[in-house]
Structure 1
Amino acid sequence: MEEKVDKKPFDWNQGIQIKVTKDKLEAVMVIDAKCDEDTVEPDILKNALNKAKISYGIIEELLLDISKNVLTFRGSSLTIAKGVPSENGIDGYIELLRDDLDKKSAPLLLKDGRVDFYHVKDIPTVLRGEEIARKIPPVPGKSGTDVYGHEIKPKVGKDPRFPVGKNVVVNQEGTSIYALIDGQVSITERGKINVFSVYEVHGDVDFSTGNIDFVGSVLVNGNILTGFSVKAKGDIRVKGNIEGANVEAEGSIEILGGIIGYNKGNVRSKQNLKASFIQNANVTVDNTIIVTDSIMHSHVNAGKMVSLEGQKALIVGGLIRAGEEVIARVIGNSMATPTEIEVGVHPELRSELVEIREKLKDIAANYDKSDQALVMLNRLKDAGRITPDKEVIREKLESSLNSMKEFKQHASIRMQEIEQILQDSSNARVKVGANIYPGVKLVIGNEIKYIRDLTSRVIFYKSDGEITFMPMR
């Protein structure tokens, strides 16, 4: 008879291993391959987890499956617990509210397919007090939990610092950047946000730049070429020449070279203008024009003074108007080139007077014809024989004649006002430091004098209703 040997029970303390991943987010249970048990109590499996200090994310359903059929899982590595990873915070950032900062200048494509190479350059500009950039705050993130039940702290999103440059300010809340001045928005080194009051063109204003319209001042290191325009709310400074271009500044204009107008283009300043020379150009300035060399064959208007200060200081040809004074060494030339100098009233008033007189001429030429036509149409209407089409014409004529009458009334009053200003021009002067030649026409106020003889070093002025002169000291 064979002796019966008792089966040695499986040692669950040695037969279950718990392994944890490096990030502590996963616990793995390994059942020894030698296990020959069909089932196991769930508490034995939980006890193994307890000894390993696994307390979070235990997969209870899997524990039950293992306990009911151990043989199926022996020798296997089973994920028995899962933690929850943390969600890192998101860094905050600075949002530019100007989407034109990184745009490249490109020609404008017209509707018909042609390209406009002269279109206004897109300059990112802001006004004082305008919001330029805004802080987008960081997202804080969420904590996680590992299989030991410990908190996993997230990486905190960084709070961005404002890259404050020149002429900008951060508000008290620290949430936005605002412009301190009107100007050009520019991102410089290290991403700093700036507002510059001067827009700089490093070469010529040409097809590479297009036309320029800027809220501040403009500095052109080269020339402004024919056909292009530069407008500025501030000053304009040109290191080269203005060549047949349209240039307009609400401040002053300074040209280190000169103005070559080619009888086209206009230069306009609401303050002062300074240049080396003006040639075949149209120039209008509200205050003072200073030229260091010459003005030749140009139409020049200054609200106060035109002064030529260099060794040459020559005016030849064209029309020079100034509200107060014209100063030059030489006016005209030995060939008696027609040259006209007008002082004593703001040029705009003279232009206004000319426009009023021209319009009155037009009215005088058309008034009688229109009046006669209206009389005829009124007779047709009174007789009840006017057609609808002629009634429309009658009403237009009546309205036009009323407008003419009203303009004549206002024009008469305005002309008297301007004439009074022209008469009161006792302080107006034309100063000649060297010679003034025959061929020059002087207008002071409402008086005219033609220079018949070469005259030297004199000051012309109006006295007792006529233009006279005195020696220059």
Structure 2
Amino acid sequence: MNLNGITLTESDGRVFLHHQAAADRPPVDATVLHSLLQEAGFGQCLLYKEVIAASAVDCNTVKTPFVVQVAERRDASLELEIAPDEMVVQVSLSPAQGGKAISLEDIHEVLKAAGVVFGINEAALIHACRLGQIAHWPVASGEPAQDGQDAAFDALLDLTADRAPKLNESGLIDYREHSGIVVVRPGEPLMRRTPATDGVPGHTVKGRELSPRPGLDLSFSSQLEGAQPASGDPNLLEAAVAGQPVLVEHGVIVEPVLRVAEVNMASGNIHFEGTVQVEGDVTHGMKVQASGDIVVNGAVDGALLEAGGDIHVTGGIIAKSQVRSQGAVSARFAEASSIHAGTVISIDDMALGCELESLNQIVIGDKLPQRGCLVGGSATAMMLLRVPLLGSNKAGTTVVKLGANAKLQAQLQALDERLLKEKATEENLQKLGKHLAATGDPKGMLERVKATWRQAVQAWSKSLNERRELEEQMAVMLKARVEVVQGVDGAVDLSIGSKLARLRKEFPDGAFLIDPAEGLLFTDAAGRAQVLVPA
């Protein structure tokens, strides 16, 4: 296209329109000037559209020569964004307008100038160059440090007794889980320890190393009776004596197993560091005290049983017997006796005139529901009492208490005191580390202080987790309930938490529980609720 008196020139990437009046030139408009720029090879440049439109008017009206810039060449632009933590780099590309496009080498030069040397994604760079226009496109990423794993302890025997009770989501323990006595021989493997790992350092995109948190390295417990590390493998725990393996924290102990036919005047009292298995009865006035489990295949008649583990009685517990266990207690029936369990009391048949106390639950009559009952005496549990028939109109008052655990309260108070001390230690070490860093660490103590500080943080974190677990257990106590399969008969004083109801009438099958808004309720099998003690 040739327009008399109108020419285009370029200087230093700037495009100018030169105008001189011409009588024989037809009128021009913005479209004509755009076509002129296109034909002259300036169509890809940045066009000044408003200037071009104004110039078209001037070309038709102004009689004197003039020169005006109507376009310019612009190279492609690149914007680099580095995250404050130096873990991500993004690029934004604006395309060239008649100028130079961004090349792969150009992006590499910009990254190098910004100090980006790690985690560059070559494929992402090529993709950005191919598109020519892109916003906030990630092209490099740092690698986070991988914290070390804490030391792990894996039991090698599936049937190893575990005396740590396992709670379900309702805060109850499966009272049916009673493992038999497993016996190991000297040299038999018990547990494998996997040492803690240091972790893997990370890097920012600028190459700065990120230190990992090393795992907490724990050794086998120093007090593992009957077990020892293998001579050729310090991370393998094996039995040193024959006996019953029992899981404890960071290890396994092996308790000797003592088997006797009967505990009577002929055998004498039994005091044993381990597990005791009695094939017959434990007779009146006799004592069996064991650090492990006690298994009685007969009856307990007016005797004393104390166990650090579980107590299982195939027959009955009668005649003012006293039975105390850190774990569970199970028996066929109980009468006029005192039974204390750290976890669960399970009575197959009936409990008459007994003092029952469990830190989790009492279950009566599950195996013989037609005979199962709790009559007279008292029953205290944290979470659950389940019994077919509660009370009797032919006996005195039966006292039932649910939803309290003094042991948990004491543990929580002690833990809070420990947390305060551990937090103070961590803060003091942190201040000392900052002070040493600021003064140049003249005595070379900084690394040791940092290591001690990391250990203090780990100890404090572990205590926080313990507190959360305790709080969860205490929150679950609000779900405490008394379940009656047949009903209530006779006088029963029933308290759940701080609410006391004196039951002096019959109730059908149903459950007694606390509703935070309503109070102490009884809900029958059909779901109908009545308030016994308002909130």
Instruction: Please report the TM-score for the alignment, with normalisation by the length of structure 2.
Output: 0.38
- Structure with higher Rg: it is 1
Instruction: Please report the TM-score for the alignment, with normalisation by the length of structure 1.
Output: 0.43
